[in-house]
Structure 1
Amino acid sequence: MAAQSETRCDQPLRFSIPALNARGRLVRLDTVLNDVLSAHAYPPSVEKILAEALVLTSLLGTTLKEREGQLTIQAQTENGPISLLVCDYIDGAVRGYAQFDMARLAEVPADPNLFALFGKGYLAVTFDRPLPEAEGGGRYQGIVPLEGANLSEAAMQYFDQSEQIPTFIRIAISHVDGRCIAGGMLVQHLPDGEEGRERIAARGDHPDWEHVRILSETVKPEELADPALPLEEIAWRLFHDEDEVRISEGQYMSKGCRCDPDHIRDVIARFPASERAEMADDAGDIVVNCEFCSRKFPISLVSLNN
């Protein structure tokens, strides 16, 4: 593997180290991230945690092999300033939003940890794979306590407890010329070799994983969030001494809100007329809000009755 010179944001980089049974993802979000954030006037602390969540969603989502597969992460609590954070990924498109209490948020410290933002909560990671159940398809969800200094630590706990896959994740946020830039890296020790080798033990003290983890931990936050530094260069800096490192580019990512006025209308039309009347405002419209993109869809009762 040689160092590359081209810089690309919003396009994940996949890499693997076959001899060490490791795989990884690097991603840096710019346009996609700012498109999502621009739909809401989030306070800085909420914007930062949502940016982290979108990077985490992108890293995990790109591990899906099926284009129709979906990855959803949800952080939720009943007693924190942020009550809900949801992001999902499907076929290169990401979206996300957060619900919060502004008054309580004003009381958190300048650089809050997860407990300050969420209180006692949980992190749910859901994989939906469009395959027959016999082939590993269907829905799988793992839930872990929302603990640690940041979402990266909570996600690593998820993989340790729910997947038993040794995993290293680091995410960094920066601001360049008024834009939010967020980068991240995920590295995993695979329970199965990528080249069809015999099954190996996916344990945290495996010497192969120890080697990869130590190298991975040398990545600096400023490298991940530097829009001028190519992702290939980061991979080269970390693993250039290995005999073989394979890299490939993922598809460009986009903001992916899937709200559809026709679908919304069809769903509302299934309600009884009496219930639709109760939903309507004084103008005779049923207004549906999309939390992801902050758009409002007014559906008139008259149009539903025609």
Structure 2
Amino acid sequence: MGFTIPGRHARGRLVRLGPVLDDVLAAHAYPPPIERVLASALVLAALLGSTLKLEDGQLTLQAQTENGVISLLVADYKNGELRGYAKFDADRLAELGPNPSLFGLFGKGYLAITFDQAVTGERYQGIVPLEGESLAHAAELYFFQSEQIPSIIRIATRHDAGEGCYAAGLMLQHLPEGEVGRERLHVRHDHPEWEHVQALAVTLQDEELTDAGLPLTDIVWRLFHEEDEVRVTEAAPLAKGCRCDLAHIRSVIGRFPPEERADMADDQGIIGVDCAFCSRIFPLAVDSFA
């Protein structure tokens, strides 16, 4: 759900993932540290992706490193659908203990945030180092460097035995020039409205964010009930979505020369193409290609 605080020139979004997160994670048998970081990435993708104003736009997060335990982490959002996966070294992960740091997982890596506007064909990307304590901190750096929009991003995860994994997040931003707000903060020396909003936002506890029994509207009320006006937009539904398609996969494999397709096949003449997002394997018979 989204909200704006006109008197403070601020806008925000809240996202909580429950069953949809379980649906995404169920396709993989990730260890808890990998589940937590992927859950954080999915929350971040939902927070950022839900700001897309045009239909069929896509937001993609990609965290990558050459020497980290996690070599690749991907999450994306399109039309309310989320998907994600991680590639990691299980042996090195086991050496880090149960609660590895962001640096322990990625080492010296980077976070790429890509917005694709399908309707207009526009595509823009920002890349920032994976620094700080979390993906949320890296995303704050992205907005500061690439968008020049002061932002607060809070992400919390928890796992209850028998109830699955929960993850939730808050994104709060100063309204940029051209919206309801005023000029950007970087051209001003005083910005008491933003400092006030920040002070309220940091009081939010992780337990509140991930509490499935606490409506998101109640969180907004707890934080900002003393403001003159808070405008809330209805929460949009989220679902697991994977866009793997057998016809598309066949067309891609069909572009390879026959001898290369033969090399891809197993002893039974089957090319197994797996989707990293949903872990499905698509069997294609070599002799089925004309």
TM range (shorter): over 0.9
Q: Alignment partner of 1:45: what SS? A: helix
* Correspondences of 1:95-134 after superposition (within 5 Å): 95-132=83-120
Provide the C-alpha distance between the structure 1 equivalents of 2:244 and 2:226, rounded to a whole number of angstroms: 47
Contact 2:40 2:167 in 1 (8 A): yes
Contact 1:55 1:171 in 2 (8 A): yes
User: Conserved in 2, the CA contact under 8 Å of 1:21 and 1:193?
Assistant: no
| SS of structure 1 residue aligned to 2:289 | helix
TM-score under structure 2 length normalisation: 0.95
Aligned-partner Cα distance in 2 for 1:206–1:304: 64
* AA in 2 matched with 1:85: L
Other-structure match for 2:134: 150
Aligned to 1:276: 261
The aligned counterpart of 1:33 is: 21
What's the offset of the Cα at 1:277?
A: 1.5
1:92 and 2:88 correspond: no
Give the corresponding residue for 1:7: none
Write the distance in 2 (CA, Å) between the matches of 1:287 and 1:163: 42
* Match status 1:81 vs 2:69: yes
Alignment match, 2:147: 163
Counterpart contact for 1:153–1:169, Cα < 8 Å: yes
Residue type of the alignment partner of 2:158: S
2:193 pairs with 1:194: no
**Identity across matched positions, percent:** 61
**What residue in structure 2 maps to residue 64 of structure 1?**
52
Instruction: Measure how far apart 1:212 and its partner are.
Output: 1.1
Q: 1:9 maps to what in 2?
A: none
Contact 1:21-1:192 within 8 A present in 2 as well: no
Q: Could you say what secondary structure the match of 1:108 adopts? A: coil
Q: Deviations over 1:212-249 (max 9, x none)?
A: 11111111110000111100000000011111111012
Distance 1:16 1:206, change over 3 A: same
**What is the CA distance between 1:192 and its match in structure 2?**
2.4
Matched letter for residue 118 of structure 1: F
Instruction: Please tell me the root mean square deviation across aligned C-alpha atoms, in Å.
Output: 1.4
Q: Tell me, what secondary structure is at the counterpart of 1:223?
A: helix
Mapped contact 2:56–2:119 kept (Cα < 8 A): no
Amino acid at match of 2:116: D
Superposed CA deviations along residues 113-140 of structure 1, whole A, max 9, x for unmatched, are 11011111001111111344xxxx6111
Structure 1 stretches of 5 or more lacking a match?
1-12
CA distance in 2, matches of 1:272, 1:82: 34
In structure 1, C-alpha distance between the alignment counterparts of 2:249 and 2:111, rounded to whole Å: 29
Q: Decide whether the 8 Å contact of 1:285 with 1:300 is kept in 2.
A: yes
2:279 aligns to what SS in structure 1?
coil
Assess if the C-alpha contact under 8 Å between 1:18 and 1:194 holds in 2: no
Question: Would you say the 8 A contact 2:55–2:119 is kept in 1?
Answer: no
> C-alpha deviations, 1:104-161, integer Å up to 9, x for none?
00111332211011111001111111344xxxx6111111110111111111111111
Query: Structure 2: any 5+ residue segments left out of the alignment?
Result: none
Counterpart in 2 of 1:21?
9
Structure 2 CA distance for aligned equivalents of residues 123 and 251 of structure 1: 26
How far apart are residue 193 of structure 1 and its match? 5.2
Runs of 4+ in 1 over 4 A off after TM superposition: none
Could you say what secondary structure the match of 1:294 adopts? coil
Counterpart contact for 1:76–1:84, Cα < 8 Å: yes
Query: In the alignment, is residue 258 of structure 1 matched against residue 246 of structure 2?
Result: no
Q: Deviations over 1:228-276 (max 9, x none)?
A: 1100000000011111111012321110110011111111112222221
SS at 1:139's partner residue? strand
Alpha-carbon offset, residue 87 of structure 1: 0.3
Aligned equivalents of 1:79, 1:282: Cα separation in 2: 35
AA partner of residue 192 (structure 1): E
Letter in 2 for 1:213: Q
Matches within 5 A, 1:219-234: 219-234=204-219
- Residues in 1 aligned to 2:11 and 2:242: alpha-carbon distance in whole angstroms: 29
Residue identity matched to 1:157: L
Is residue 64–residue 71 contact of structure 2 (8 Å, CA) maintained in 1? Answer: yes
1:235 lines up with 2:220 in the alignment: yes
